[in-house]
Structure 1
């Protein structure tokens, strides 16, 4: 829909809401007197924000269209079974898992209209962590995709995927292998890139990891492919690989946690080999023009000796060339000082965050310059709906990632456009 068409839809609703303001500013009643310049400026601004946030964007490889610029970032659901005595009964999505992604019947109307414009929901919905190995869990009560499980994974995940896609959103479940970031009580000897142990943090202790053999690496690549095929059969539009926050893909990329001396360690090309093999293997089974491959990607690790921004600028280009269509930019690991304290407080105090509205937007801007076609968004720190629209308008990012904000208020974006709220409470 063009901006002029949007304006026709918006003007009637927004100006009617502004009528009282106009009356006060102009010192008159509803007798045909012209609206004040302030009212028109406010209306024009809100129309522009509405247009920007709800303007669709096309993923170049798959050709799939995201209906607006808001995506629901991956958040752990903790809505699946966990049985410490019977591992085969662990990780089965409960009814609550699908309920989290259902749009309530009491959907808040945007313009009291029956058109699809009234939905106002996220254009892309990412599920939270889905471990691909039941013996290596980032936490309990998360859904699990493991080929050894006796239950039907397609039937288990299909209801949540149908719910997420019911209003026209794309659905990308997030696949994850935690590596050394498995709590010790769940597995005292987790598999990782190397045997570098993670010290106590986030109120947990972690076991001494065992380095994956090359045979196990190949098996893990196969697990990512199998899980992707399952989710495709269940109706997902694609998957997002968790390549950030110190999990296994980040562990291979980081020289701090990758001490290998084979073809998976040492040079940046070698450290990136694992994630590129996964992308290529998925693409071989599920062509890019049918299935979206996305990556949650650290701009940097924010820790001495970790993955640097300069190296990530190289890796992100390799991933785009391999067939990644969308990047969700984040940063940091369990070991980063900000994570050990409060990453929100530390990053929120930075002048650039206060000016631009997101923790990682300044790095996303630079990463975007490296890319030629992939869509890029950022997660973390978005609170002001005006800043969100400005970031898209300025070309800083293509999309805005909201997690806790949408979890606490699924209608935040709709309310922001109507002028009922501007700032998230989180």
Structure 2
């Protein structure tokens, strides 16, 4: 199962292993991808990862987490990204990009962060400016423009970042969204920004290419999002054409989280079974047997590896041998393939 292809719209991913978007904080203040990013992502393609999602790539400069994030807010950023895309595809990888806005968690030096409500993430962060409705529409348009650039760079998939306490998640959670207009209050109103971002991306993204959505299924704090509320939120965007829900958790506020292998799989399972979405599950999935079990038991359609792929970019090749799948290795490495 782990090494069976999956078809999403017209995109065929060669196996069910996805590399989680993980910020490298290695752009040099201009949001431009460089040689570090090229080597980092291409190495995982050589190592057999089926789907690589680039790290959070910001739709505007003030939406960066730090001054060293990747960006896709100007045309000059397209070509360095395209270089990565083209090379990863040579090794059979499908490649996506996570479109993001940090909201109140931005630490950019010379900008004031923005948020649905003027509430800082914690005392060490700047107090954000509350977005006006016009500014909300402007950011939605920046997601649209970023999707156009992502298509020009050749990406196969867009993932919209709605998790980990960043701007879309800030709108979704009642802990960070205290607005009294149509973007706050009820679950439907708090979901409005996300729905409008999805609609804007869909207007320009090719219909034969998938869109993923990453969510935090649990804030782990009373009064915030829990899995019941996340099911309600996702039911409101069920008809918007999202192909896969990438199910994570946490990040809105510092919270105590019990960590164990596969600790977020239960959220993926419920979203998949109750709403019928295809899902991708993440969270300390490091062993091939666990990855295989998550898929075969129907709890997710794709498994996501994060730090394990930082430690071992060749995990897919080794997992295939461990699970007795006979897969193709890069021809340059075939002499190392053990029978």
Normalised by the length of structure 2, the TM-score is: 0.90
Classify 1:419/1:309 alpha carbon distance in 2 versus 1 (closer, same or farther; 3 Å).
Answer: closer
In the alignment, which residue of structure 2 is the partner of 1:77?
24
In the alignment, which residue of structure 2 is the partner of 1:236?
155
Q: What is the distance in 2 between the residues matched to 1:63 and 1:420?
A: 28
Per the TM alignment, residue 95 of structure 1 is displaced from its structure 2 partner at its CA by 1.9
CA contact (8 A) 1:188 1:207 kept: no
In the alignment, which residue of structure 1 is the partner of 2:7?
58
Per the TM alignment, residue 187 of structure 1 is displaced from its structure 2 partner at its CA by 5.1
In the alignment, which residue of structure 2 is the partner of 1:364?
268
Classify 1:234/1:209 alpha carbon distance in 2 versus 1 (closer, same or farther; 3 Å).
Answer: same
CA contact (8 A) 2:10 2:209 kept: no
Classify 1:360/1:152 alpha carbon distance in 2 versus 1 (closer, same or farther; 3 Å).
Answer: same
After TM superposition, the structure 1 = structure 2 runs for residues 58-137 of structure 1, keeping only pairs within 5 Å, are 58-59=7-8, 62-82=9-29, 90-103=30-43, 121-137=48-64
Q: What is the distance in 2 between the residues matched to 1:371 and 1:78?
A: 35
Q: What is the distance in 2 between the residues matched to 1:213 and 1:104?
A: 41
Classify 1:156/1:104 alpha carbon distance in 2 versus 1 (closer, same or farther; 3 Å).
Answer: closer
Classify 1:304/1:186 alpha carbon distance in 2 versus 1 (closer, same or farther; 3 Å).
Answer: farther
Per the TM alignment, residue 375 of structure 1 is displaced from its structure 2 partner at its CA by 2.0
Deviations 1:79-135, CA, capped at 9 Å, x for gaps: 3112xxxxxxx2111122112121489x6xxxxxxxxxxxx6121110011111112
Q: What is the distance in 1 between the residues matched to 2:128 and 2:139?
A: 16
In the alignment, which residue of structure 2 is the partner of 1:317?
235
Q: 1:277 aligns with which of 174, 196, 204?
A: 196
Deviations 1:329-362, CA, capped at 9 Å, x for gaps: 1000151323xxxx5xx322xxxxxxxx411011
Classify 1:143/1:167 alpha carbon distance in 2 versus 1 (closer, same or farther; 3 Å).
Answer: same
CA contact (8 A) 1:228 1:238 kept: no
In the alignment of these two chains, the number of paired residues is 324
Tell me which of the two structures has the higher relative contact order, counting C-alpha pairs closer than 8 angstroms and 6 or more residues apart.
Answer: 2
In the alignment, which residue of structure 1 is the partner of 2:66?
139
Q: What is the distance in 1 between the residues matched to 2:315 and 2:44?
A: 14
Does 2:323 correspond to 1:404?
no
1:272 aligned counterpart, secondary structure: helix
Does 2:128 correspond to 1:209?
yes
CA contact (8 A) 1:57 1:68 kept: yes
Unaligned runs of 5+ in 2: 325-339
In the alignment, which residue of structure 1 is the partner of 2:113?
190
Classify 1:420/1:240 alpha carbon distance in 2 versus 1 (closer, same or farther; 3 Å).
Answer: closer
Per the TM alignment, residue 140 of structure 1 is displaced from its structure 2 partner at its CA by 2.5
Per the TM alignment, residue 255 of structure 1 is displaced from its structure 2 partner at its CA by 0.6
CA contact (8 A) 2:291 2:303 kept: yes
CA contact (8 A) 1:299 1:363 kept: yes
1:241 aligned counterpart, secondary structure: strand
Q: What is the distance in 1 between the residues matched to 2:197 and 2:58?
A: 15
CA contact (8 A) 2:103 2:114 kept: yes
Q: 2:208 aligns with which of 290, 293, 297?
A: 290
Deviations 1:214-244, CA, capped at 9 Å, x for gaps: 1111110110011111011110012111111
CA contact (8 A) 1:92 1:156 kept: yes
2:42 aligned counterpart, secondary structure: coil
Does 2:321 correspond to 1:381?
no
Normalised by the length of structure 1, the TM-score is: 0.72
Q: What is the distance in 2 between the residues matched to 1:371 and 1:165?
A: 32
Range with greater deviation from structure 2 (211-220 or 159-168): 159-168
Per the TM alignment, residue 420 of structure 1 is displaced from its structure 2 partner at its CA by 9.8
Does 2:186 correspond to 1:262?
no
Q: Larger radius of gyration, structure 1 or 2?
A: 1
Q: What is the distance in 2 between the residues matched to 1:199 and 1:72?
A: 29
1:401 aligned counterpart, secondary structure: strand
In the alignment, which residue of structure 2 is the partner of 1:159?
83
CA contact (8 A) 1:176 1:241 kept: yes
Q: 1:328 aligns with which of 246, 263, 266?
A: 246
CA contact (8 A) 1:81 1:92 kept: yes
CA contact (8 A) 1:317 1:370 kept: no
In the alignment, which residue of structure 2 is the partner of 1:219?
138
1:180 aligned counterpart, secondary structure: helix
Q: 2:293 aligns with which of 379, 385, 390?
A: 390
Does 2:166 correspond to 1:247?
yes
Classify 1:257/1:218 alpha carbon distance in 2 versus 1 (closer, same or farther; 3 Å).
Answer: same
